Structure 1
Amino acid sequence: MIEDSRKISDARLVAGRFDGFTALDWIRQAVSVTSALAAWDQDQLVDVAVGKHWDVVRLPRALGWRTVERMRHEGTPVGPVQHTPEGVEVLVPVGSAAEWHLPDTEVLTEGTVAVPHPAMVAPRTQHAHTWIVSPQECAPLTDANLLHEAYAAALAATHMDSAR
C-alpha cells in the first residue's frame, strides 16, 4: 500500500499526459483535473458527477465482474468500470440505461460516485475502490444495450449453474 501511495503522490500532469498514462480527458469533463490530482495526492477518492456526462449502472459485485469478463471475452468495447463496496459501477452514455428492468441493478442518473486514481486497477485498491477497466485504457463509455445483454446472459448462466 505504501508503494501505491507513493505512485499516487509522485504522479503529476505533464504536457497533457499523466506520467505516461492517457490524458485525463474523461475526468476533465466532470471535475477539475487539478483538484482530482490534489485529492489523489492525499490518498482520497474523487467525487464525479453523474447525469451530465455519463450515467452509472450499478451491478451486484459477482455478476458485475462476470458481465465485464463476458464483454471482454466477446470483444465488446467496455468503458470505465469500477468495483466499489456498493457493487460494480459501469459508466454509460446519459439516458441510455433509462429503460433497464433487470434484477439487482441500479441506474444512477444524478448525484456523484467516488472514483479512485486511474492507476488503481484490480487487485490494487484505494479505500475499497478499484478499477476493473481503468478509464486510461478503454473505450469512452460502455454501450448500455450491450451491457444489458451481457448482464442478462451472466444472470441466466448464474441461474443455470445454481440449478445444477
Structure 2
Amino acid sequence: MLSSLFTGPPYGIVVLPVVASISRDVFETVPAVLKESAYACGCTKWEVIRSIVIPYTRGGVIGGVMLGLGRALGETMAVTFVIGNAHRISSSLLAPGTTISASIANEFTEAVGDLYTSALMALGLILFVITFFILAIARYLLMRLDRQTRR
C-alpha cells in the first residue's frame, strides 16, 4: 500500500537541505554543559537528543522547517526543474509534478484571452492564500512555543 507512494525515481527535494542546514546550526547552539550533564547522569546519545537537544532547539527547528517550506512555495524555476514540470497528478510522491508558481511562470506569456489570464490570476490568489495560512500557522506555533518557554 505504501510502496505506491514512493515509486519512481526521486527527482530531488529542495526543502530538505535548507531544513537540515538550519537544524544543524541550531543543534550546535545547545550548551555543552547541558549535554555533558545528561551524559554524566547515564543518558544514552538518543536520550540526550530526545530529552535535551530537541526541547532546547524546538523553536529553531520549527523555524527551519517553515523557512524550507517558504522556500518551496516561493521558488519557481528551481522547483520546476527539480520536480519534473509534469502537468498530471500521480499516486507517487516521487513522480514528476508541478507547482502553482511554476504553472504561472510557464504559462503566463502564453495566456491568450481573458479566461486564461483570469485562471492564472486565480492561481496566484490561491498561492497567496496558502502562503498566508502557512506563515500564520508558523507564527502561531512560534508564539505558543515562546509562551511555553517563558513559564
**Higher helix proportion, which one?**
2
Normalised by the size of structure 2, how large is the TM-score?
0.28
User: When you count strand as a share of all residues, which structure comes out higher?
Assistant: 1
Tell me the TM-score normalised to structure 1 length.
0.26
- Greater Rg, structure 1 or structure 2? 2
